[in-house]
């Protein structure tokens, strides 16, 4: 869907500027004894992006690139080390406890694993009703029941009242993820961080969950930060795609542009292995060699140069500037 033709949904909902999340690395006994300064794990190391109202921005990349940490930092489930996160023009990092509590109603999260994120001791009704009760949103039990039914229906669960007394182990995998989505929808959020929401589901169920999320965007104007390592899913559901590598965004643009005209060598390697319904010769694939470097010891220059087939001496010495290469299409490479 072309978000450029959506009128009022051009309003910027979320803006992230120079976001950083650094952790102290675990020290050995000898280092602690000698009082050595602990090294820093630079999980997120200076991100800039925005999400408009009603937009789905996909954050894609290999495991360990910092995608989930970015999402948690935006919601302050992990405290940022530096930078700014502005939500509706307000600085999320500066929120006090009371304002942060209200923000958690406006911004929700869908976790990767519905088998682990749901409390096995809570029924379907209590799972969805809990956010309403904790935040004292409804005045009485009748209003709570109405909101729970509405959320379960919006999440695609038919006959919701028949599910009220069931427990998570009595539901299928798809029903569990829809229950998790209902738990997020019940407080009527404007923004949802979806952390690999279909990676634990069977292929036959994924399409229904993805369609549900897109429909909710169209009907309710919900914005998403959709986190995945699967570029084919990113292309299917997102308006824009940001490619992340070792704590930084190396490319960002519209979904079609990033997939059809990738600028960065890392993006080209990821795109080359997307499954397609035709025979692809092995020579067409750009398989990356080696593993992602340790975020404690980030390479000098371009972070991708140890694995880049196009790396030159400049790449080992000078970090590339992240810039707008074409209108709306950003990249960080010396040779684009």
Give the residue, 135 or 25, on which the prediction is more confident.
135
Contact 24, 38 (CB under 8 A): yes
Instruction: Please tell me the predicted confidence (pLDDT) of residue 35.
Output: 58
Instruction: Please tell me the predicted confidence (pLDDT) of residue 4.
Output: 43
- Does the structure show a pLDDT above 60 at 8? no
Instruction: Please tell me the predicted confidence (pLDDT) of residue 103.
Output: 95
107-123 burial code (b ≥16 CB/10 A, e <16)? bbbbbbbbeebbeeeeb
- Does the structure show a pLDDT above 50 at 109? yes
* % residues pLDDT > 90 (the chain): 71
Contact 191, 222 (CB under 8 A): yes
pTM: 0.89
Q: What is 6-28+39-331's CATH superfamily? A: P-loop containing nucleotide triphosphate hydrolases (3.40.50.300)
Q: Output the six-digit token pair for 233.
A: 């899913």
Mean pLDDT to the nearest integer, 101-109: 94
54-72 burial code (b ≥16 CB/10 A, e <16)? bbbbbbbbeebbbbbbbbb
In the chain, where the domains are located:
6-28+39-331
Q: Is 89 exposed, middle or buried (0-12, 13-18, 19+ CB in 10 A)?
A: exposed
- Does the structure show a pLDDT above 60 at 145? yes
For the beta sheet containing 12-24, the strands, ordered from the edge strand earlier in sequence to the opposite edge, are 40-52, 12-24, 82-87, 90-91
The upper half-sphere exposure of residue 161, i.e. CA atoms within 13 Å in the direction of its Cβ, equals 3
Contact 130, 138 (CB under 8 A): no
- CB atoms < 10 A from the CB of 86, how many? 17
Q: What angle do CA 15, 20, 26 make, to 5 degrees?
A: 150
List the one residue out of 39, 83, 42, 40 whose CA is nearest residue 65: 42
């Amino acid at each position: 869907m072309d978000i450029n033709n959506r009128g009022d949904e051009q309003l910027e909902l979320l803006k992230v500027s120079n976001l950083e999340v650094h952790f102290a690395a675990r020290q050995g006994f000898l280092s602690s004894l000698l009082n050595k300064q602990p090294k820093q794990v630079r999980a997120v190391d200076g991100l800039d992006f925005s999400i408009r109202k009603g937009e789905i921005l996909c954050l894609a990349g290999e495991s360990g690139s910092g995608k989930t940490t970015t999402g948690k930092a935006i919601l302050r489930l992990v405290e940022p080390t530096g930078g700014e996160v502005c939500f509706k023009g307000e600085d999320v990092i500066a929120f006090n406890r009371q304002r942060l509590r209200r923000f958690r109603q406006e911004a929700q999260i869908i976790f990767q694993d519905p088998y682990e994120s749901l409390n096995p001791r809570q029924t379907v009704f209590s799972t969805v009703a809990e956010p309403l009760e904790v935040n004292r949103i409804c005045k009485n039990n009748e209003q709570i029941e109405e909101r729970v039914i509405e959320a379960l229906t919006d999440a695609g669960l038919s006959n919701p009242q028949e599910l009220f007394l069931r427990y998570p182990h009595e539901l299928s995998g798809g029903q569990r993820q829809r229950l998790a989505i209902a738990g997020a929808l019940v407080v009527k959020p404007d923004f949802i961080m979806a952390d690999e929401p279909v990676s634990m589901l069977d292929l036959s169920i994924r399409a229904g969950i993805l369609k549900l999320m897109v429909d909710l965007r169209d009907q309710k104007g919900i914005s998403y930060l959709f986190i995945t390592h699967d570029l084919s899913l990113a292309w299917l559901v997102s308006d824009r795609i940001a490619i992340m590598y070792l704590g930084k965004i190396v490319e960002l643009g519209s979904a079609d542009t990033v997939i059809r005209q990738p600028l960065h060598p890392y993006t080209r390697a990821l795109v080359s292995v997307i499954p397609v319904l035709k025979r692809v010769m092995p020579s067409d694939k750009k398989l990356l060699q080696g593993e992602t470097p340790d975020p404690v010891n980030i390479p000098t220059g371009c972070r991708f140069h140890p694995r880049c087939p196009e790396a030159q001496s400049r790449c080992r010495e000078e970090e590339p500037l992240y810039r707008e290469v074409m209108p709306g299409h950003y990249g960080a490479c010396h040779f684009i």
